Every structure is written in C-alpha cells, then in structure tokens.
Amino acid sequence: MAQLDLRGISKSFGDTAVLRDIDLSIGDGEFLTLVGPSGCGKSTLIRIIAGLEPQTAGSIEVDGVGIDHLRPHERRVAMVFQSYALYPHMTVFQNLALPLTMARLTMAERLPLVRLLSPRRRRVMAGIGQEVGAVAEQLQIDRLLDRRPAQLSGGQRQRVALGRAMVRHPAVFLMDEPLSNLDAKLRVHMRSELADLHARLRATFVYVTHDQVEAMTMSDRVAMMHGGRIIQLGTPAQLYDHPANLTVAQFIGSPTINLIKGRIGTDGAVEIPGGRIDLATGLPAGAEVTVGLRPEAVVPAPLAPAFQDPVRLPARLHRRENLGPEQILHFDLVGAEKAGLTCRVMGNESVVADEPVDLLFEAGACHVFNAAGERVALPATPASGRPPVRSVAPLIGGTGA
Amino acid sequence: MPFRRQFLWQKLTGAGFALPAFLLLLALHVVPLLVLAALSFTDYELGVVTFEWVGLDNYAQAFSDEVFRRSLVNTLYYVAIVLPGSVILALLVAVLVHQRKRTRSFYEIVYFLPVTSTLIAMATVWQFLLHPSLGVINAALRKLGFSEVPFLSDPDLALPTLAVIGIWQLVGFNMILFLAGLSSIPRDLYEASAIDGVGNGIDRFLTITWPLLGPTTLFVIVTTSITAFKLFDTVAVMTKGGPQGSTEVILYAIYLEGFYYFRTAYASVLTLVFLTFVVIFSVIQTFVLDRRTHY
Amino acid sequence: MQATLPTRTASEGEVSPAAAMIRRMTGLFFVHAFLLAGAVFILLPFVWMLVTSIKPPEEVFSAELSFWPDRFYGLENYGFALTAAPVLRFALNGVIVCTGILVVQLLIAIPCAYALAKLQFPGRHLLFILVLLALCIPIQVPALPIYVALAWLGLLNTYFSMMVPFFLSVFGIFLFRQFFRSFPDDIIHAARLDGMSEFEIVWRIVTPSAWPAIAAFSVFSIVAHWNDLYWPLIVISDINLAPPPLGMMYFADAETGSNYGALTAAATVLTAPLVVTFLFARRRFIEGITMTGVK
C-alpha cells in the first residue's frame, strides 16, 4: 500500500543531536523494526514519521510524495502508543469510531446539539458502526464495546489501541513499544498476533522496541539504532550472524555474545588469553582486536562436538543455569584474569565437574572486530557462519547432580 | 505491662498534640456558632447590659426587610455575572496559554498579577480609572466619540461594573486551577487524537480537553461561586452600597447591622442566612471533590 | 481482511506546504491577539497606577488622555503618601499581623495534623469531623460573637485582636494531615527506635519533609491576610494599627480626597511587597494556589 522513504532526517534539541542524517527506505508491506537502547532516537524517529514532531532537516515521502507539511492525520499513518493513549472518557466503541467520525463527518455534524440537525449523520454513523464492529470482531473485543478503558485489562487495552489504528486502513502502521506494558506471557502471545495481523493486512509496519527478541521474531528487516544513527540494517539473521560492529553484536542475542580481547600475533593469527585462533584477518601484527563468539558456538569438550580442528581453551565451570531444555554454563578461563565464556548447550544434565575442562569452538564461528569496534571481514571458510546444529548429545558426567 | 503503657503513652501524646487545636476550634468556631444561634433569638445590642428572648422576631423582620432582600438579590446577581465570566474566560485563556511554550510564563505572570495584589488598593485605582471626568476609560470613550458613562453612579451599571472588577481579579486564579487540570491530561492523548484526525483546536477541545477537564471545571465553579458570594471589599471601598442601594450585598449588610449600627442580634440572623448559602455551596463542593477521582 | 484503500477526503489531499504554513500563522495570530487583549485588560490598572503615581495634579486632573507625564512628580507624590499617612506603618502592621498569624497557625496546626495522621487518641474522629465542618465556615460567620467577646475583654484595637480569629487554620490542619499521611511509617518507627521523642519526630523528621506543603500554605496564608479588609475594619479604629487594606481605605477616604497622584503612590507602595515577591517566587506562588485550591 505504501512505500516509505526517509531522506537525511536529522533532529536536534538545541545543541543536542538526537537523530543524525537518517536514510531509510521501507518497502510496501514490509515489517521494519527500529531497535536500540533507550535514548538512541528510535522513538523520536517514529514520532517524526507520524508528524508529532518536526524534523530539523530531511524529508519523508510516502510513495514518492513528500508529506512533511502534512498534519499527522493527513499522513495516512496510524500509531499505537506505548501507553495505548486510549481516551479514558469514551467507550471502546467511541475510541474505535473516533478516527472515522473525524474523517467522515463535517465540523457541524460533530458539534454537540448542532449535530442533531444533520440527517446525513445517522447514515454515516451506521456505516461507521458496521466497520467498527468488523474490526472489533477480528480482534475479539466485540463484547467490550460498551466498556471504558479503565474497565479493561492490559491485553484488552492493547487490542483496542490496535483496533483504533486498524479502522482507518492506514498506509503505514507505526508502533511505539506497544508490548512493553504487558506481562511477559501476554507479550509472547501478542508477538505472534501482531505477526499474524501484519500477514493479514499486508500494510507497512514500522515498529519501535528496545527488546531485541521482539525485533528478531517479528520483523522482515531490523534497523539497529545507536546514538541517533542506524548502525546496521538487515534481516534478523543478518544482524545475528554478521553483526556490523560490537554494539550490534552485543545488543542482539541472548545470552549476550562472548567477547574476548586479543591481538594479532606476528604470524597473523589472533592471540587470545589461553590460546590462539588461526584466522586471516588481514590486520597488521600487534593490532588490538575483539573476538566475538555466540554462546552456542562454544561447546565443552565432554559434549564431544563434531568440530574439525577446533580451538581449545582450558576453563573452569563457574555457574550453571538450568533452563530445562537447555542450560547456560558460565566458565572462567584458566590463566586469564576475569575472562569468562558463556556456553549454551541443549540438555539439562550436569556436564562438568569442578576440574578444568576444555572449551571447543571453530575458528570460523568467530566474529572479529577491530579496535574501533567494526567488523573485520574474514575470508569465507567452510565452517564460517552458523555453527553446525548439534543434536542433543548424550550428556556424560552427571557427577551427583 | 510495658506494651499497654506504651500504647497509653501514645494516646496521651496524640491528645496532647491535638489539644491546642481542639481548644481553639471550640473557642473560634463551635462556641461562636452556638452563641450566634442563641443571639438570633434575642434582642441583644452591643453595649446594652440586658437582653430578652424574642423568639423568631428577628427572623420575621429579616425576611420582610426590603433592604436585606435586595442585598440577597444583588449578591446573587453579582454571582450570576462573575461566575460565567471568570470561569469561561479563565478556561479559554488557560487552554490557549497551555499550548504556548516561550510566551507561557509571560501570560501566566500577567493574568495572575491581580490575585497577588491588594484588592483594596487596586479598587482605589479602578475607581480612578472609572472616574466620569478624570478616568482614562471615559477619556478614551470621549475620544472615540461616545458620551461619558457614569459607571459607579448609575444604579443600573454599578453592580455590573463591580462584577467586571471581580472577573478581573478571579480570571488569573481560575486560570491557574485550569492549567493544573490541563497538565494532568496525558500528552499521549493529544498525540493520538492528532493522528486520529482531531485536527483543529475546536475539535481538540471538544473531544479531549473539555471532557477530561470536567472535574476541574466543577471545582472551579464552586470555589468561584463562594468567592463571589463573599463580595465585600470593592463595595466597601468604591460604592458603599450605593447608588440607591444598587450595590448593597449580603456581607455589607451584615457589616453595617453588626458593626456599624451594633444591632448584634439582628446581624446574627443575617449571618446565619449567609452561612446557609455558603454551606450549600460547600456541600456541593464536597460532593464534587468526592467525584474528582474519575475514570 | 480486505485491504481497503485509505479513505481521504478531498480537502486533505489538497494541502500544499504554503497553505499549511498560512493555516499555522493565522491560528497563532488569533491566539495571541486574544491573549494580548486580555493581558491589556489585566494590566491596565497596574500600568495606570504606576503612571499616575508620577504625574503632577494638573495632569491628573486634565481631561486630556495622555499616557506619559510631561513633568515628573513622583518624588512629591510618594513623599506625600509616606508622610501624610503612615503608609510604611501600614506595611509594617501588615508584616507583623501576617507573621504572627502564620507562626501561630503553623505551631498549632502541624502537631495536630501529625496526631490526626499518625497517632491514635480518643476523640480523633470527632476532631477530624469538626475540622472538615469548620472548613466550610468563612470568618464572617464567627466574626460577630468573637467581636462581642473581644469587646467585653477590652481587647479591641490591638494586634492580638487582629490575629486571634486566624490562629487556628483548619485548612492548614487538613492540608498537612493529607501530606503527613503519605509520610512513611517506617521512618517514624525507626526514629522511635533511635530514641527520639514524639515531639522531636514532629519537628525534626516530619516537618522538614513537608516543606512544599508548608511553603504553599504560607503563601496562601500571607496573601489572604495581607489583603484582608473585613476583620481589621471591624476591630481596628486606631489608624496606627491598620494593616495595608484598612490603611489604604482610610487614606483614600480622609487624607487625600481626590489627590489621585498620592493615592496611586500609596497603592503602589502597599501592593508592591506581594507583587514583587510573586515575581521572584512565581513557581512557589502558583504551586501554593494550585495546592490549596481554595481561597
């Protein structure tokens, strides 16, 4: 329905720059998520798209037509607010109907008392009633139409807020952290409902969140923002597997990626505390690097991963978190002050006793970042990219656990 | 038992802390009210040593008294002008000022100025402004080709003129109350409504501001009614009840009877009538305050 | 769901950037035109007061409309106001009365409010109900009996008689009680465990935390009593004891006749203290009025 183009959007409050030169094209029907830590400018950006705040520089186009001078309701966008922003004095029906009454009734037909004079009004209202009913039915809130927002649960309010956005059939849905006021369980449920909704409506969605799980699970593409810039734009898989820099690598993924400080040795390999990794980084000897390892790429030796020529690091188990189907193991590297590695392995039996074990990983699973935190391109090796999916290895040990 | 002793000690402390206030409450409110009620059935006059019980004579006199009836009507007339005038103006000003960013504090200061200033002093200034021959307002009218208007000496104009001064004094006060109410409306709602198509100021006012400001408005209406009902200062300084009794109001009547003619018993009847009205307003206020928690 | 095309009315489709700009500008123009017109109405007496206070009599009495004085006469007017009537004395009386009232009000109301909020004692509910009832009673009601009592005791025409009806502020008790109720019990318990007496807890722990409420109440109390005319008019006949409003009234009546230059000079001097304080502590003032809400 609509292609949304942002060109050189900047925003500053006095001397403080909140957004710096944002360029972003969002395709028709795409689900794009703006993700980032608080203060990264993602909410400001979505509010600028909505027309709630003017940008300092740059322009916004919908289907190639500039909309910068238009007021919010003239922009064919709808927005779902973090607080839902339901009108507390109106019933659910009135909340849902408001966008339509505003668009279809004349000023006189909206005025108290005066509106009773218009015969047209009743016809229009009947049409609106039907449309509101249809939307309410889709969202399963049709039984709640007579209630006020204060009489609704969090999840119900969330649906009303969604419905109010839907009734207008906007070209673009803007969602500003819509799930963050829900409890954890409902949040998971609403994630899939939102994804379904997007699939059904085929409208353009711009979704703001600070929760990387929401970004990863629902989006077609994710724009990670930091310090008023988009620091990486790509599919969720691209962000996870090829983070452009340390900030993205650390923000995306849970548990957080393992980071090990190292430097390039004289032979070009990466030297890290307790071991070395054979990688052709192309960096000069002595350069400082950071090696990133996803927790699932590191496996304790007793689990006998099918790695070819893995790197081995001696470590000692520090803490174990049992999550049921999988467990998170925190290791201290032997011989390295305060350096640790986190592993994520399937199964729930205790793996290692108190003595040191070797942690194994393949060189190709490493992400290397230079001193400035930028990703260093590595020549493709057979084992690069995601580590092989491991079957749940029969767990050995179980030392009295 | 130590526990019992501690408990008793806390009771004594509490009573001790409350005692001065309680005694003053008795001396300044309860006893005077009882005395007032008792006086209303006597023929007591200050300075006279003896008095007699006269039953309802004072009441009968009050309700048949032309002057008193007129002062009651005048007071209500004054309220009827000041109430809508100051509330509607204040609401308008508050809504407009609330949206200003840079100029907001300027307007706040200006409109609030009369609240802090000494009304008696300003009433003197108003009297000068409204002076038929020397006042700037009549000078301006003459310049514009109109004839002089005797604001304070025309019986038809005197009370409305005082009411305009009353509005002048109350607008800023009510504006501040409305501004407080306005800032408790979440900004989200205005933003959501802007996206929903509530584009102009009138729509915004009718769909969001006015309904959500309802409780504040009721509160402002009641406090304004009580304040206006207690009109005294401008009458005492500017008109002294005249011309031809057109600005005689209830508090001024009480003042004259009780503290000028010293007809204490009769004044206490008038005071009780006055109290009745204030209590009615206050009961409404309590009712309104109870309902202030909304939605 | 069927993906319908967005509904757009004709007018929405045709908004050009220039039209959007014009729409914004005209809106702003009307808003400021209205607010400024109101501001002129509000400021008129203040400006005219200041201008007249530096005008010589012949300009004041000329029927011509002129704004700025041709001849500066400020020294003479202010000099006359300060010597012919004890204007500074009025201001000093105002300070004495306001301070006296406020200090006693706080000393009485704070412990009582603490007891009502945090301590159990017999008669607590009765006291609170009395406080709520007394909130509805304006000073004009008990004025008559209190006046009679003061007359009997021979206490008329004293500072004490001007202050005594206001020593108990039920409103203060009510306000502080609301504030104290939200004070954490744990801190009070901790203070008791640390060996503090209840007296020390009130004044050294709870009162400092109630600073915003005390400031708000002080603003409210001072503004009310600096500007009060009714009660001083009743009990004070010695002009040397008159607070500002009464002094102003006396000055306007007796000394000056229609010497408007001196009169406005006096009005300026008596209005200035509160207005200047307001200009410097605007936030506190507005908070005070908003929090107290009633007048």
pLDDT (tens digit, 9 = 90+) per residue, A292-311? 999 999 888 877 677 888 88
| d(C-alpha C239, C-alpha B100), whole Å | 47
Answer whether B188 sits within 8 Å of A98, measured CB to CB.
Answer: no
Chain A contact present for C2, CB below 8 A: no
Above 60 in pLDDT, residue A316?
yes
Nearest alpha carbon to residue A292 among A374, A213, A210? A374
How far is CA A47 from each of CA A30, A206, A221, B188, B279, rounded to the nearest angstrom? 19, 11, 20, 11, 50
Round to the nearest angstrom and report the end-to-end CA distance of chain A: 58
- Is the Cβ–Cβ distance between A203 and A1 less than 8 Å? yes
Answer whether B118 sits within 8 Å of C245, measured CB to CB.
Answer: yes
Above 90 in pLDDT, residue C102?
yes
* Residue A400: per-residue pLDDT: 34
- pLDDT one-digit tens code per residue, C250-291: 887 765 566 778 888 888 988 888 888 888 888 877 777 776
| Greatest Cα pair distance in chain C | 90
Section A334-340 average pLDDT: 74
Chain C contact present for A20, CB below 8 A: no
Mean per-residue pLDDT of chain B = 86
Answer whether B230 sits within 8 Å of C140, measured CB to CB.
Answer: yes
Chain A contact present for B21, CB below 8 A: no
From 1.10.3720.10, 2.40.40.20, 3.10.150.10, 1.10.8.50, which CATH number describes the C88-292 domain?
1.10.3720.10
Nearest to C61 among B126, B134, B251 (CB): B134
Q: Is C154 exposed, middle or buried (0-12, 13-18, 19+ CB in 10 A)?
A: exposed
Mean per-residue pLDDT of chain C = 83
Chain A contact present for B184, CB below 8 A: no
- pLDDT one-digit tens code per residue, C26-64: 888 888 999 999 999 999 999 988 888 888 877 777 666
* Residue C254: per-residue pLDDT: 64
- Is the Cβ–Cβ distance between C69 and C51 less than 8 Å? yes
Tell me the shortest Cα–Cα distance from A97 to chain B, in angstroms: 10
- pLDDT one-digit tens code per residue, B44-70: 887 777 777 887 888 888 888 888 889
- pLDDT one-digit tens code per residue, B178-227: 998 888 888 889 999 998 888 788 888 888 888 888 888 888 888 899 89
Which tokens is C107 given?
């000393």
Nearest to B110 among C31, C42, C246 (CB): C42
Confidence category of residue C5, pLDDT binned at 50, 70, 90:
very low
Percent of residues, chain C, with pLDDT higher than 70:
89
DSSP state, residue A386: S
* Residue A120: per-residue pLDDT: 85
Segment holding A47, helix H or strand E: helix A42-50
* Residue A397: per-residue pLDDT: 36
Contact list, B124 vs chain C (CB under 8 Å) = 248, 252, 263-264, 267
Task: Give the count of alpha carbons within 13 A of C234, CB side only.
Answer: 31
Contacts of B295 (CB under 8 A, 6+ apart): A88, A89, A148, A149, A150
- Strands A340-346 and A270-272 turn out to be unpaired
* Residue A152: per-residue pLDDT: 92
Answer whether C15 sits within 8 Å of A104, measured CB to CB.
Answer: no
- Is the Cβ–Cβ distance between C105 and C166 less than 8 Å? yes
Q: What angle do CA B1, B2, B8 make, to 5 degrees?
A: 95
- pLDDT one-digit tens code per residue, A44-74: 999 999 988 889 999 999 988 888 888 888 8
SS3 label, residue A7: strand
Above 60 in pLDDT, residue A398?
no
Domain A4-241, CATH class in plain words: alpha beta
Confidence category of residue A322, pLDDT binned at 50, 70, 90:
confident
Section A168-173 average pLDDT: 90
* Chain A, nearest residue to C21 by Cα: A69
ipTM: 0.84
Nearest to B176 among C141, C274, C290 (CB): C290
* Residue A22: per-residue pLDDT: 92
- pLDDT one-digit tens code per residue, A151-162: 999 889 999 999
Percent of residues, chain A, with pLDDT higher than 90:
41
Answer whether B258 sits within 8 Å of C35, measured CB to CB.
Answer: no
* Residue B202: per-residue pLDDT: 84
Nearest to B203 among A72, A77, A110 (CB): A110
Above 80 in pLDDT, residue A103?
yes
Instruction: Give contacts of A 239-298 with C, CB under 8 A.
Output: none
Domain coordinates in residue numbering, chain A:
4-241, 256-370
| d(C-alpha A277, C-alpha A291), whole Å | 10
Phi/psi at A329 (nearest 5 deg)?
-115, 130
Please report the domains of chain B, with CATH numbers, ordered by start residue: 57-290 (1.10.3720.10)
Answer whether C21 sits within 8 Å of A168, measured CB to CB.
Answer: no
Segment holding C33, helix H or strand E: helix C17-52
Above 90 in pLDDT, residue A220?
yes
Q: Which chains touch C (3 or more CB pairs under 8 A)?
A: A, B
* Residue A379: per-residue pLDDT: 72
CATH topology assigned to domain A256-370:
OB fold (Dihydrolipoamide Acetyltransferase, E2P) (2.40.50)
- Is the Cβ–Cβ distance between A77 and B180 less than 8 Å? no
Q: Which chains touch A (3 or more CB pairs under 8 A)?
A: B, C
* Residue C255: per-residue pLDDT: 53
* Residue C253: per-residue pLDDT: 74
Above 70 in pLDDT, residue A394?
no
* Residue C55: per-residue pLDDT: 80
Answer whether C48 sits within 8 Å of B136, measured CB to CB.
Answer: yes
Q: Which of A60, A69, A102 to mutate to test the interface with C (most CBs of C within 10 A)?
A: A69
Q: Where in chain C is the domain with CATH 1.10.3720.10?
A: 88-292
Q: Annotate C112-138 with b (16+ C-beta within 10 A) or e (fewer).
A: bbbbbbbbebeebeebbebbebbebbb
- pLDDT one-digit tens code per residue, B257-292: 888 888 888 899 999 999 999 888 878 776 766 554
* Residue B174: per-residue pLDDT: 92
* Chain B, nearest residue to C67 by Cα: B136
| d(C-alpha C98, C-alpha C107), whole Å | 14
| d(C-alpha C201, C-alpha C189), whole Å | 10
Chain B contact present for C126, CB below 8 A: no
| d(C-alpha C125, C-alpha B161), whole Å | 46
Assign residue A375 a region (left: φ > 0; alpha: ψ between -120 and 50; beta: otherwise). beta
